[in-house]
Homo-oligomer: A and B are copies of this chain.
């Protein structure tokens, strides 16, 4: 990745991009670099390379795609929060599930924006956050407020009962990945993944692994239409 662009102009805000789709990354980079007050100081396609590059390039801002293809999305967010408490992070996502947004915000994200939104919104969000605010789409804000008012979490999404890690595993299963593969992608032991699977099965009242796979795949397919 191109982590070698160093800022000569001290006034520009250095933005770091993390997304596993090169197309999105480069597109966003071209877009941001056109702004007079912003510049992209580096990119990464995964958690490990991101951490390394961020340590080197010391950005003022991070845009992070939390999407399912990048296994460590939430995890990386938490790590960043722990290592750089003051580094603002804007989450980019293709899902508008409040489950994700909620988790992301709880994990310390400063904003959450969907890829469906207009590109300018990204700039708006960045500037909002740089001023110390939190950025959320109107729709999402509304939804979250409703959830807040309504008390507990909406029972309509049983996935909300899953912990962050469990949800990640669930998604990967839905994408057709095997236990071993998931363990590698998440950098944990297969035993750990097995535990997650067991917990998921319990929380979703599934009998066996096959049903789990079925459930996960079906839900991953349903997302495209919803």
Contact = CB atoms under 8 A, between A and B. Distances in A.
Size category of the binding interface on chain A: 35 or more
Contacts of A197: none
Interface in A118-136: 118-119, 122
Contact of A208 (B31, B178, B210): B178
Nearest to A211: B176
Contacts of A67: 94, 224
Interface string A52-85: 0000000000000001011100000000000000
A225 B70 contact: yes
Given A26-B27, A27-B30, A69-B94, A21 B115 contact: yes
A177 B210 contact: yes
Contact of A118 (B22, B28, B92, B177): B22
Interface stretch (A145-153, A158-166, A188-196, A213-221): A213-221
* Of A20, A24, A122, most B-chain CB atoms within 10 Å: A24
Nearest to A178: B210
Contacts of A115: 21-24
Contacts of A118: 22
B20 A116 contact: yes
Contacts of A92: 23
B31 A26 contact: yes
* Of A27, A29, A70, most B-chain CB atoms within 10 Å: A27
A73 to B, nearest CB: 9
Interface of A: 20-24, 26-31, 67, 69-71, 92, 94, 96, 98, 115-119, 122, 175-178, 208, 210-211, 213-214, 217-218, 221, 224-225
Closest 7 CB pairs between A and B?
A: A27-B27, A21-B115, A30-B30, A176-B214, A26-B119, A22-B119, A178-B210
Given A23-B92, A23-B122, A214-B217, 8 more contacts: A22-B119, A23-B24, A23-B31, A27-B30, A27-B119, A30-B31, A96-B175, A178-B210
